[in-house]
Amino acid sequence: MQTNTNLTSPPTWAGQVREFFHAERPPYGLAIMRMLLPWVVLIDGAPRLFHVRELYSSDGAPAPLWEAYGLTDLLPIFPAPVAMAGYTALVFCLLAVSIGWMTRFSLIAATVLYLYFIPLDMISTANKYTVLSGHALFILSLSQCGSIWSVDALLKRWRTGQSAPLPRFPVWPQRLIQLLVGIVYLSAAFTKLRTPSFFSGDQLVYWMLTDTTARNPLGDWMSMYPALAPLTAYTTVIWEVAFIFVAWRGLGRIGMLSVGVVFHALTWSMLGLIVFPLLYCVLYLAWLHEADVERMTGWWRRRTPADGSEPAVIAGERPRFRWAEWCGPAPSAAAFSLLLAIAAVVAVELEQRADRYGEHRAEGRYALREVPEERVQELLRGDKRLRSSDKVFAFDVGSQLVGGILANRRDAFGYGEEVIVQCSLVPPHEDMWVEINLHDLEGRLISRNGQFAGRESFRVSHTHIFGKGLPPGEYQWVLRFDGQDLAGRPFRLGDIQQASGTTTAAAVVE
C-alpha cells in the first residue's frame, strides 16, 4: 500500500534569493518615490540654476573633483551657454520624472546630467546626499516606476481606450534601493566606530551650537544637556548596524523605519539638515508593500461616503477620445523635445541678459579689487597665538558622569559627596598643563590640582570629596592655564548629604 503525501519541500536558499529579487509586485513605492525624489533634489539644485556660469562653466570658477586626485581634463567643462542649456535640461527632466512624462528617457537623461554637474563643483555641490540621490535616480531609470500614476500611463489609457490590469514587475530595483540604504547605514556605523569624538558627543554638541547648515530649532536647547549626546551616539550606531538585518518584514520593518523617521527629523531640528533627512524619508518608500497600499485605499473607501450612483463606464472599458492618436509615443516625444528646447533657449537668453560679469556694460567687465597689502599681511601672519580664553568651551561643576561627560550641573554640595569639576577644551590646541584650583570667594587659594591635557584631549576632569576640615560657606573652582585664571564656578558647601541647585554662570576672571 502506497501513501500519497502532498508535503511541500522547503524552498532552497537559491530559491529564496530568486524570490527575494524577482517576485513580481506593483511598483507602488517606486512610483511615489519617482514623484517626490526630484523635488528633494531641486531644493538645493534649483537655486544653482542662477549660478551655472560661476559654478559649472569654463567662464566661471568650477572646482572639479578630479583635480583633487591629480587628474586633469577628466570631463569637459563647457562654456556658459552650453552649461546653462545642460543644467536647464536637468531641471526640466527632473520635473518630467516627477509627473511621469517620458519617464524612462527623463530618468536616464537626468541621471547622466546630474552625475556630470555634481563633480564639477566639489566645494558646494558634491556631498553625501548628492551621491545617494544620484544612485537612486540611476536605479529608478532601470525600473518600471512610470507604469502607474504617471502621464505616460494616462496617455496609454487614453490611446487604447481600456483600463489595463494593475501592472506587476520584478521587485529587484526596489531591493537595490533597500540594500543601498542599509549598506550606507552600516558603512556610516563603521566610520563612527573609529571616531572617538562622536561617542563622546563633542561633534554633536559643537554642531548643535552652530547654524552653519541651517537654523536648528532644538540645537541650542539640547546642547544644555550634554549627557544626552553620548546616549544618542550609541543608540544611533546600534540602530545603523541593525537596520540592514532587521528592516525587512513585520515589526522589525515598522520599528526600524519609525526610528529612522524620528532620527532624521531630529537631524533637522537639532543639526539644521534639510535635504539629507528628506532624501532618506523618500528612500524609505522602497519598503512600501502592496498590502500597505491596499489597507490605505480600503481605509479611504470606508471614509468616503457612497452616493449610490452607477458607474458611467463598464469595468475594464473607457471612452476613447477622438484625439487619441495624439497620445501616441511619437507625438509625446515630439512635444517633450519641443518644450525642452524652448526651456533651454529661454534659459540661455535670460542668463545672457543677466550679464553677471558686466560683459555688455559700457565700462567693460567687472574687475576684482586688489586686497590691501596690510590685509594680506594680516591674513598670512603666523606669529599671532590663539587667546587662552578661546581654548575653553565649557567649565562646569556637577556630580555625575555619563560617557565621560558631566551629566548634571550643581552649585551646592554636602560633606562626603563626590564633586566633579570638568573643563571642556576647543580643538585644536597644544599640549597643556591645566589647573582646577579651589579658592574661597575672596580669591585665596585653598587647594591646587593640576593635570596634563594632551593635544588630542577634549576635556579635563577633577574629582574631589570634601571632608569636615573645610568649614561650611561659599567657595569657587577656578580654571587656570597659560599662567592665567580664565573662569570660575562658585558653589556652596554645607553640612548636608544631598544638595542640588541651579547652574550659576561662569565668572570670567580674565
Q: Is residue 114 predicted with pLDDT exceeding 90?
A: yes
Please tell me the predicted confidence (pLDDT) of residue 155. 87
Neighbours of 123 (CB within 10 A): 11
The mean predicted confidence, pLDDT, of the chain is 85
Residue 15: what pLDDT?
84
Asked whether the predicted pLDDT for residue 448 surpasses 50, the reply is yes
| Residues whose CB falls within 8 Å of the CB of residue 167, separated by 6 or more in sequence, listed in order | 26, 27, 144, 147, 148
Pairing state between β 412-414 and 484-494:
parallel
Q: Taking the alpha carbons of 131, 134, 139, 143 in that order, is the dihedral positive or negative?
A: positive
pLDDT at site 325:
60
Confidence (pLDDT) at 403: 75
Q: What is the mean pLDDT of residues 23-51?
A: 94
Q: What is the pLDDT of residue 1?
A: 45
Q: Residue 500: what pLDDT?
A: 41
pLDDT of residue 8: 57
Topology of the domain comprising 388-494: Immunoglobulin-like (2.60.40)
Q: In the structure grid, which three cell numbers stand for residue 251, read together?
A: 515589526
What is the SS3 assignment for 76-134? CCCCHHHHHHHHHHHHHHHHHHHHCCCHHHHHHHHHHHHHHHHHHECCCCCCHHHHHHH
Q: How confident is the model at residue 130 (pLDDT cuts 50, 70, 90)?
A: very high
**pLDDT value at residue 275:** 93
pLDDT for 198 beyond 60: yes
**What percent of the chain is modeled with pLDDT above 70?**
89
Asked if residue 48 lies in contact with residue 87, where contact means CB atoms within 8 angstroms, the answer is yes
Inform me whether the pLDDT recorded for 16 exceeds 70: yes
Considering the entire predicted model, what is its pTM?
Answer: 0.82
User: What is the arithmetic mean of pLDDT over 202-224?
Assistant: 80
pLDDT at 405 over 90: no
Q: Which of these ranges, 240-254, 280-294, 374-388, has the smallest mean pLDDT? A: 374-388
Q: Average pLDDT of 85-96? A: 97
CA distance 394 to 398: 13
- Give tens-digit pLDDT for 133-170: 999 999 999 999 999 999 988 888 887 766 667 889 99
Lowest mean pLDDT among 14-23, 118-127, 488-497: 488-497
| H or E segment to which residue 244 belongs | helix 228-246
Q: Helices 275-283 and 250-271 meet at what angle, rounded to 10?
A: 170
Q: Per-residue pLDDT for 97 more than 70?
A: yes
| Model pLDDT, residue 162 | 66
The larger pLDDT score, comparing residue 68 to residue 499, is at: 68
More confident site: 144 or 226: 144
Domain ranges of the chain: 21-170+327-357, 176-292, 388-494
Question: What pLDDT shows up at residue 209?
Answer: 81
pLDDT of 57 above 80:
yes
Q: Bigger pLDDT: 297 or 242?
A: 242
